Chains A and B, each alone.
Chain A
Amino acid sequence: MSADPLDTLATIGKGKSTRSALRVVILALIAAASIASRLFSVIRFESIIHEFDPWFNFRATKYLVANGFYSFWDWFDDRTWHPLGRVTGGTLYPGLMVTSGAIWHALRALTIPVDIRNVCVLLAPAFSGLTAIAAYLLTNEMTTSNSAGLLAALFMGIAPGYISRSVAGSYDNEAIAIFLLVFTFFLWIKALKQGSMLWGALCALFYGYMVASWGGYAFITCLLPLHSFVLICMGRYSTRLYVAYTTWYALGTLASMQIPFVGFLPVKTSEHMPALGIFGFLQLLAFLDYVRSAIPSRQFQSFLWIFAGGIFTIGLAGLVVATSAGIIAPWSGRFYSLWDTGYAKIHIPIIASVSEHQPTAWPAFFFDLNMLVFLFPVGVYLCFQELADEHVFIIVYAVFGSYFAGVMVRLMLTLTPVVCVAAAIAISTLLDTYLDTKTPPEDQQSAEGSEKKSAKPGLKSASKPVVGVYSIWSKGLMVGSFSIYLLIFVLHCTWVTSNAYSSPSVVLASRMPDGSQHIIDDYREAYQWLRQNTKEDAKIMSWWDYGYQIGGMADRPTLVDNNTWNNTHIATVGKAMSSREEVSYPIMRQHEVDYVLVVFGGLLGYSGDDINKFLWMVRIAEGIWPDEVNERSFFTPRGEYRVDGEATETMKNSLMYKMSYYNFNNLFPPGQAVDRMRQARLPEVGPTLSTMEEAFTSENWIIRIYKVKDLDNLGRDHISAAAFDRGQKKRKATKKRGPRVLRVE
């Protein structure tokens, strides 16, 4: 803290133009840093699309680029959900694909030959840079401090809560949606502050873009009305609010209805009703406001009671009638599960089965936000201190966002922006307090300074002198420790990003005993096998998790995929997987299944395999056929879920079990077969399969593909045919003779 460099720094920072230039440079650096920190996966592995959903987005983008916009819009996909097909163009959020398609075309126009895959892989990091800038803008609306915006941009850029969904290759809707979310909020605050129609219209346009990109747009649809409502309740109705809100709503709702997937929802479902209600309410308020300015207050009161009471009654009656008559749909299942976390598990297993729909465990908050979690309440408190309209927004957002983040893991994503903004406000206030370089010599000027400062806050502080922090030690301590915290934060973010969020999960990495990296590439090996060795239209049955990947990588029709629109169809697959072969075979024949794909982690100790997901298949199937599939019968009498010799008969006979462990014990010496995932010693005699035959097993046995046998040539059923092939003629014969005969062999 020597004087000279500080002075020079101060002089550099003095000029307005240099300051803004510095700010631009810093912002650019932050954007670059946020992009760079998301490239771990590309560097470690390769430029590849991650996980499950992104594979569909990637496939749709390729279709868009290849066939043009109009055929994309009308796309009927007959290669998924066999035999139903999917009206893909009308059931997806096209924002992401159109964005990357547009970028691709723009780059081509600039004669930069780039692969569409690379555009898709790098889209999320690019947009995270924009998100950082949007966070800067949003924070600048909140506070006059210059550093807050930059800090917010930095936090937004590297907070793991956001990185989790935006690493390179994570080509999902959230990749662009978070940018749109933050930017829409910025525009909303701008519109509200200025009361300008133009900003409101821009807000509506970006809201429309958001609707086109992500189902989470409902968050905005609920948050903006809530903010307005809180403002009204605080007695802060203003004509600015009227202009901003009505412009946003009128244009934004129309914009959202342009998306085929959303269609009439904004006027039909309950999620959108608060926005409509506040819209109507604001009309009334505006009218009342006008009337109040026109007539004396006593008359106004009687006017108000009659008018408002009447309107309220009519509105409520209308809403009740409309809901009960079915004009307005009640809340959808996903929204119920937001209020009652146990709801989905009981009523809609398919929602509960998705891991990102689970309630958040508390360490996740620290893991994803690190020290921002502690600073978040401070920032909210500081917002309370000022409490202008925009601060109310941050408070409302904080409350709303915290609740939802607690309910559902994936909504951590919507909480992260407000945490970053609030934490940035907190830290910048702190730093501004402690880093005041023009400290006066204590005696004379501190008195002046205190007078100057005390003039602002008003009566309460006018009486006592303001005590500033002038000791260089306390300053140094605070600033120093916070610098260390910030550095630790950066380290934590980098560590989390590199260790937790940068795995493509299509390609797995492990360490060899000597520490070198070993790539496990079973998924792509198997999908490549499918692509090369099966017919173009061979139908693949697998659990729905892998539907998108099969469609994207193997380019084969699937029965179900991650777009879980038809619960019954998924339950059918679940039933086929969890039933005996005799039951499953007709189901597979009816659905023209050629191959069945299962994921098995027993050899490698890979936890995300189908045996671990098996109970969900059972539950979902049980939801449709409660008398044919029964979850209880998969547990041992002691309530254990076992796969070893003590597994229940139902479990051992289920198709999934058989397919997973078929031939598995041949890998080991007799009696030594061990499932490394579940640490279970398997029975000596492995399961037998008679209706299907093993077609392919990948290097580490992660993916196993079975071919469903055609009908038997001689008209036998498959059980007996297979028994015949195994040479068990006598057993069959004894069976025919009846149970009385004692077996001698």
Chain B
Amino acid sequence: MIHLQDIRKVFNAGKPNEFVAIKGVNLTIDSHGATALKGPSGSGKTTLLSMLGCMARPTSGRITLKDREITSLPERFLTEIRRETFGFMFQQFNLIKGITALENVMIPAYPKGEKHVSLKKRAMDLLGLLNLADKALSKVEWLSGGEAQRVAIARALINNPPIIIADEPTAHLDTRLSMELIQIMRRFKKDGKTLLIASHDPIVYQSDVIDRIVDMRDGKVVSSGDVP
């Protein structure tokens, strides 16, 4: 589904603090299944994830998504692809403070011009699915860590994307909540979604949800293989 070909990513190119984050990666991600990017911090997991998710462009190399070359697309199209294809979960949750959980979930769909009533219903359904219906009108800063995480998940799902991208999703969760998250991931997979997770947490990459592990170090893929 996603094909990376000789991807390099250089930050601050030409400056004294030039830094090569990704040093030539070739990778193919199939649809339906969960892939974990594993490796120590600084290994380039997040950078690779952001390029997979059409958030950043590689310095060189080609990315194709469903046989469509996307590296050279203008920003407008890239945004549209990102909105339609990917749901994002961030390490810090990145919810917008001061507004309700419900609104946070609806935000990614706002620019699509969907009817408010149906959008709201969809958001409420998602919150209900994640046992958050009674917290819908609470401001996000009043939520517990686990609740905030689930709001972030609902937000990632609002546009019904085929691919979910999660960057260190368990970084701010305790073991119990991490296990809960794995359960939710399992549900996603059953629904036919593709999961892309960057994590150095064994709870994630050693769980049975993960079908394939890509091990990264110093901006390179060290090994990649299916979980037996």
| Chain A bound to chain B | no
Q: Which residues of A contact B (CB under 8 A)?
A: none
Q: Which residues of B contact A (CB under 8 A)?
A: none
